[in-house]
Structure formats: structure tokens, C-alpha cells
Amino acid sequence: MKNSLRVLRAEHNLSQGELAEKLDVSRQTVNAIETDRYDPSLPLAFKIAALFGRTIEQIFTPNGNR
């Protein structure tokens, strides 16, 4: 699954560590999501979407369709 988390994080001037703190996950988890090595759980995807005021579908896209 592809995502636009890195772009959103940059637009909000957040470091990976700052975002991780807001989401209550590790910085390594944020990095793994951004580099498409880890798909977040549904509850975490909802937290990410709520934090950025987007829908899950606006952030995460299956099969690399952006």
C-alpha cells in the first residue's frame, strides 16, 4: 500500500519523532510506514487521517494508485 504520509508530515513541519509522539508509536514505525515497509493497523490509520484532517483513502492507496 502506498501513502502520502511523508508529504503530509512535511507540510505540517513535523519530524518523524514529533509525528510518532502524536500517534503514540515509535519513530521507527513512522519511518516504516513512510517507506512502504509497514501497513498501519486500521486504528492507527484512523488516527493518522484524523490528525491530518483527511480520509484514510486520501492518505493510503492500494496497489500504488495515487
Q: What is the CATH number of the domain that holds 8?
A: 1.10.260.40
Q: Where are the beta strands (DSSP E) in the chain?
A: 2-3, 60-61
Burial classification of residue 3, based on how many CB atoms lie within 10 Å of its CB (0-12 exposed, 13-18 middle, 19 or more buried): buried
Q: What is the pLDDT of residue 65?
A: 52
Domain total in the chain = 1
Residue 65 within any structural domain of the chain: no
* pLDDT digit string, tens, across residues 13-27: 999 999 999 999 999
- pLDDT above 70 covers a percentage of the chain that reads 94
Residue 39 within any structural domain of the chain: yes
22 is in which domain, residue-wise? 2-55
Q: What is the pLDDT of residue 54?
A: 98
